Amino acid sequence: MAQVTAPSPARPVEVELRPAPPVDLGRAARLGLIGGVAMVLVAATGIVGTFQTRLLIDPILPLGLLFLYLLAFAFGWMAGKPPAALEGFAPARANSRNLVAGALAGALGGLCVGVLAALMSTFDLRGVFVQLSPQLLEILTFGLPLGAAIIAIVAISAVAGAIGAGVHLLPIRLKRSLLPALVWVMMFALFTDLVGQLFAGLSAEFLTDFLFTGRGGALTIVGAITVFIVVFVAYWLLGGRETTLRGRIEAMPRGQRTRFSLIAAAVILIILWFVPKVMGPFVSQVLDTAGIYLLMALGLNIVVGYAGMLDLGYVAFFAVGAYTGAILTSPQSPAFTPQLLLIVAIPFVMIAAALAGLMVATPVIRMRGDYLAIVTLGFGEIARILFNSEWLAPIFGGAQGITNIPDLRIGPLQLSTPQDYFYPIFLVVLIAAYVTYALQNSRWGRAWMAMREDESVAEAMGVNVVTAKLSAFVVGAVLASFGGALFGAQIGSVFPHSFDIVVSVTVLVIIIVGGMGSVPGVALGALVLIVLPNLLREFSQYQFLFYGVLLIVMMLTKPEGFIPSKRRAQELHADELSQDAWLDIYGDKPTTDATTTEPPR
């Protein structure tokens, strides 16, 4: 019997609690230096310089320096965080020492930037980092002489770090109102176009005029304060209750929960219906792109998330869909011009994609894990090179691609604008989401998962792994091909360079960041990775930097993704579940079924 030291909630054991250990200043110093490296990198990659001209709040807050000191804030927050409550210790309380830790981390971070500034003023570093220009030095030093500037940078960073640590000292209700308010101000300031478009769509331009310096301008001080107060008051009145909404939904009886989800789904559908009408062509275009990526992510989720086969050449199926659609519908197709309507061509697109899926899957049936990933990576590239080749140019048009693809027409409805395309794309996404759900709890869905867990055992338990692998590839391919066909019709042309390896990687990152195997997670992943970078057009040159940082941070802190499927969350936090045994002993396991009477020994 394992030694049971943990006091069970059911039988509280009187234990003298030792005082919590104080916050670790050594750790704070280490975090500060890491933060310093991050701050230096932000400066060296040019983010500070690029965004200095973008005013978040007119006229006081330029985005470039804010980025720098937000890092000091974040690392101060981490450094000042009270350690997690341990067995036998009183819960840690934040005190002035936490503030010191935050300030220390911030100051060390600032010192790194100061050193950078000193180096920049002594040497010309532009040979290595192009972005380390005199203008950047000017920005970093606020135009002060070097000594004064370093003191100023360290001081500001220390204050930012201390404020970050100070968050832990706030009462919980204040914290839960203050942080969302700040986040909302940030969102209003960052997504000025989006907010302006939204107000225009709702014929509420007077709000734009009130909050911003003009149409398309930056947030004003008055605007920022207004947004802050409105959000703060709203959250204060909610009293932090919104965090338990999910819990309350889960506590509902089954019937009520079903009704609630139905109503929620209906509301979401109605909102979706109005989204393109309100948001205009630019946002709709972004959402269309996100929808196509989401469709691919749902398909790849079946191959990678369910069947456990890492496919790095998934873009090939997207390309097959796009090219098949283009050849069958466009009058400009080089070899074969049946000029079908897209809606008629769709079954042929599906067949072509299914064949492509079989073609890729057949040679890789006997491969597992890394080998499979490498081979599929090769297939993805082969597909792109074939579409690009002179050899097949008489069919696929080579580098010129296929142009003049007619717009999608459904009966009398002729779609043309991005707003129009929003509806078919999201209809297909909904269908794909349904298919994903339906397959998950089916005979083959279970076979895929069994194969993912242990291929030899799955086979020994009666799963025909050849069929399972082929079918997973085919389903994934067909879903991607829908995306390809819609993509071609919407853009009006297909070119080989649209089907780069980057697309495969992006789709994979969407799944990993969102939550493998989880449909809401994948949707959120597409939103974060496609919609945000496209809405913040200034960021587009840093898009992949953003992906990389996000991926690393996610792997370190939340490897199961934003909205994980239940099983994956449990798997990656298995150590937290391993007290299962003593939970049983103490009988406080939530029993969902009255038949469980005898606790196992």
User: Which stretches of the chain bind other proteins, using CB under 8 A?
Assistant: 435, 438-439, 441-447, 449-450, 453-454, 456-465, 471, 475, 567-568, 570-571, 574, 577-578, 580-581, 589-598, 600-601
Closer residue to other proteins (CB): 1 or 60: 1
* Least Cβ distance, residue 561 to other proteins (angstroms): 14
Closer residue to other proteins (CB): 305 or 313: 305
User: How many CB atoms lie under 10 A from the CB of residue 269?
Assistant: 11
* Least Cβ distance, residue 166 to other proteins (angstroms): 40
Tell the residue number behind the tokens 């691609």, with chain if given.
401
* Least Cβ distance, residue 601 to other proteins (angstroms): 8
What DSSP state is assigned to residue 306?
I
Q: Give the Cα separation of 21 and 92 in Å (integer).
A: 7
Closer residue to other proteins (CB): 287 or 479: 479
Closer residue to other proteins (CB): 243 or 441: 441
Q: How far is C-alpha 585 from the chain's CA centre?
A: 40
**DSSP per residue, 456-521:** HHHHHTT--HHHHHHHHHHHHHHHHHHHHHHHHHHHS-B-GGGG-HHHHHHHHHHHHHH-TT-HHH
Token pair in block for residue 64: 């470039």
* Least Cβ distance, residue 439 to other proteins (angstroms): 6
* Least Cβ distance, residue 460 to other proteins (angstroms): 5
Note whether 165 and 80 are within 8 A (CB): yes
What DSSP state is assigned to residue 537?
G
Strand partners, 410: 413
User: What are the two backbone dihedrals, phi and then psi, of residue 117, each rounded to the nearest 5 degrees?
Assistant: -60, -45
Closer residue to other proteins (CB): 411 or 600: 600
Closer residue to other proteins (CB): 24 or 454: 454
* Least Cβ distance, residue 507 to other proteins (angstroms): 22
Nearest CA-CA partner of 316 in 356, 287, 344, 373: 356
* Least Cβ distance, residue 477 to other proteins (angstroms): 13
Closer residue to other proteins (CB): 17 or 461: 461
Q: Strand pairing of 55-58 and 219-220?
A: parallel
Closer residue to other proteins (CB): 243 or 592: 592
Closer residue to other proteins (CB): 320 or 450: 450
Strand partners, 402: 494
Q: Give the Cα separation of 525 and 514 in Å (integer).
A: 4
Task: Tell me which long-range contacts 232-238 makes (C-beta under 8 A, separation of at least 24).
Answer: 232/177, 232/178, 232/180, 232/181, 233/177, 235/176, 235/177, 235/180, 235/181, 236/173, 236/177
* Least Cβ distance, residue 584 to other proteins (angstroms): 9
Closer residue to other proteins (CB): 1 or 172: 1
* Least Cβ distance, residue 594 to other proteins (angstroms): 8
Closer residue to other proteins (CB): 285 or 471: 471
* Least Cβ distance, residue 365 to other proteins (angstroms): 12
Note whether 105 and 79 are within 8 A (CB): yes
Closer residue to other proteins (CB): 171 or 590: 590
User: What are the two backbone dihedrals, phi and then psi, of residue 402, each rounded to the nearest 5 degrees?
Assistant: -120, 125
* Least Cβ distance, residue 99 to other proteins (angstroms): 41
Does the N-terminal peptide bond of residue 59 adopt cis geometry, omega within 30 degrees of 0? yes
* Least Cβ distance, residue 562 to other proteins (angstroms): 19
* Least Cβ distance, residue 449 to other proteins (angstroms): 6
- Dihedral sign, CA of 340, 343, 344, 346? positive
Strand partners, 409: 414
Q: Give the Cα separation of 581 and 572 in Å (integer).
A: 19
User: Mapping DSSP to helix (H, G, I), strand (E, B) and coil, where does residue 168 land?
Assistant: helix
**DSSP per residue, 235-303:** HHHHTTGGGGHHHHHHHS-HHHHHHHHHHHHHHHHHHHHHHHHHHHHHHHHHHHHHHHHHHHHHHHIII
Nearest CA-CA partner of 317 in 265, 281, 358, 289: 358
Closer residue to other proteins (CB): 390 or 598: 598
Closer residue to other proteins (CB): 81 or 452: 452
Token pair in block for residue 246: 């999910």
* Least Cβ distance, residue 11 to other proteins (angstroms): 21
